[in-house]
Amino acid sequence: MTTTPAIQVERVTVHYGEVLALDAASLSLQPARICGLVGMNGSGKSTLFKAIMGIVKPDSGRVLINGHAPLKARKEAGIGYVPQSEDVDWAFPLSVRDLVMMGRYGHLGFTRRPRKADRDAVEHALERVELSDYAGRQIGQLSGGQKKRAFVARGIAQGATTMLLDEPFAGVDKRSEATITRLLRELASDGCTILVSTHDLHALPQLCDEAVLLMRRVLMHGSPDVVLQPENLAMAFGLDVLNRG
């Protein structure tokens, strides 16, 4: 029996004005897998994330999340997202618990008032990422690693079956990196599909089941030990491979 891919990107092309961000990019991820997304700045990683989440509409091609359009998946709280730190207003008066509760919004009724099940889900998520003692703290007061874990907790509380993480290891210490890696491996074991954009190539073999090289299109998709071979990395970091047959 054929399993429906958790993430299916089919020849997606995206322009920003005259700038080509993605060029017929294709990617298929099976459920309960962790995939590392590798590419230089400007390779289209963030655009691919936005296309998967339905924030950017492709010029051509399509994206399916568990067989459904991204907007439907988002509406059903199926996609969790851990953004880059620079994309977050850390001065906003929001507690860690409030941030994690945002993951429950898709489950709330018309009153938007959390019920016991929502509060329990939030507390469980905080405990799982080891942030229970920081639940009342304003989000900007967290360390780099704690901030990342707070957004992972939001995805856990949400019950997301697909999670996208944009540079989760940037600005975190080794202990936090190990904690995040353990969390993601546990989530994958629970059935969550995880796509991680990262420049930390050393962390890929311990974290990921597979890896993707991106340079506006997918250059290679395979096991981390194959993808991370120097001659393959050279394709994505500095060589003009888009014109190679």
pLDDT bracket for residue 208 (50, 70, 90): very high
- The verdict on residue 98 lying in a domain is yes
- The verdict on residue 182 lying in a domain is no
Same domain, 122 and 10: no
Q: Which segment of 62-76, 97-111, 136-150, 180-194 scores lowest on mean pLDDT?
A: 97-111
Stretch 143-151: mean pLDDT: 93
Dihedral, CA atoms, 189, 192, 195, 201, nearest 10 degrees? -20
Please give the pLDDT value at position 112: 73
Stretch 212-237: mean pLDDT: 93
Run of H or E residues at 23:
strand 19-29
Run of H or E residues at 193:
strand 193-197
Stretch 95-117: mean pLDDT: 85
Same domain, 34 and 141: no
- The verdict on residue 180 lying in a domain is no
What is the spatial distance between Cα 140 and Cα 188, in angstroms, rounded to a whole number? 28
Stretch 151-166: mean pLDDT: 94
Same domain, 137 and 165: no
**pLDDT tens, residue by residue, 5-33:** 999 999 999 999 999 999 999 999 999 99
What is the spatial distance between Cα 103 and Cα 97, in angstroms, rounded to a whole number? 10
Same domain, 152 and 232: no
What is the spatial distance between Cα 164 and Cα 77, in angstroms, rounded to a whole number? 13
- Tell me which residue has tokens 């099976």: 30
pLDDT bracket for residue 113 (50, 70, 90): confident
- The verdict on residue 70 lying in a domain is yes
- The verdict on residue 183 lying in a domain is no
Stretch 106-118: mean pLDDT: 77
Count CB neighbours of 92 within 10 A.
Answer: 11
Same domain, 70 and 15: yes
pLDDT bracket for residue 111 (50, 70, 90): low
Please give the pLDDT value at position 239: 52
Please give the pLDDT value at position 1: 52
State how far the alpha carbon of 126 is from the alpha carbons of 100, 150, 172, 195, 243, in Å: 8, 7, 18, 22, 48
Please give the pLDDT value at position 2: 61
Average pLDDT in the chain:
91
Same domain, 129 and 204: no
What is the spatial distance between Cα 191 and Cα 193, in angstroms, rounded to a whole number? 7
pLDDT over 80 at 243, yes or no: no
If one counts the domains in the chain, the total is: 2
Same domain, 167 and 243: yes
Q: What are phi and psi of 218, to 5 degrees?
A: -80, 115
Can you give the CATH number for the domain in which 63 is found?
Answer: 3.40.50.300
Q: Which SS3 state, helix, strand or coil, does residue 97 take?
A: helix
- The verdict on residue 125 lying in a domain is yes
CB-based contacts of 210, cutoff 8 Å, min separation 6: 29, 33, 34, 35, 36, 221, 222, 223, 224, 227
pLDDT over 90 at 90, yes or no: yes
Same domain, 15 and 69: yes
pLDDT over 90 at 38, yes or no: yes
Please give the pLDDT value at position 199: 87
Count CB neighbours of 176 within 10 A.
Answer: 20
Alpha helices in the chain (DSSP H): 45-53, 70-75, 96-101, 116-128, 144-158, 174-189, 204-207, 224-227, 230-236
pLDDT bracket for residue 132 (50, 70, 90): very high
What is the spatial distance between Cα 58 and Cα 172, in angstroms, rounded to a whole number? 33
pLDDT bracket for residue 85 (50, 70, 90): confident
- The verdict on residue 184 lying in a domain is no
Range of the domain at 120: 90-160
Nearest to residue 155, comparing CAs of 218, 58, 74? 74
Same domain, 139 and 108: yes
Same domain, 108 and 221: no
Same domain, 62 and 167: yes
Same domain, 70 and 97: no
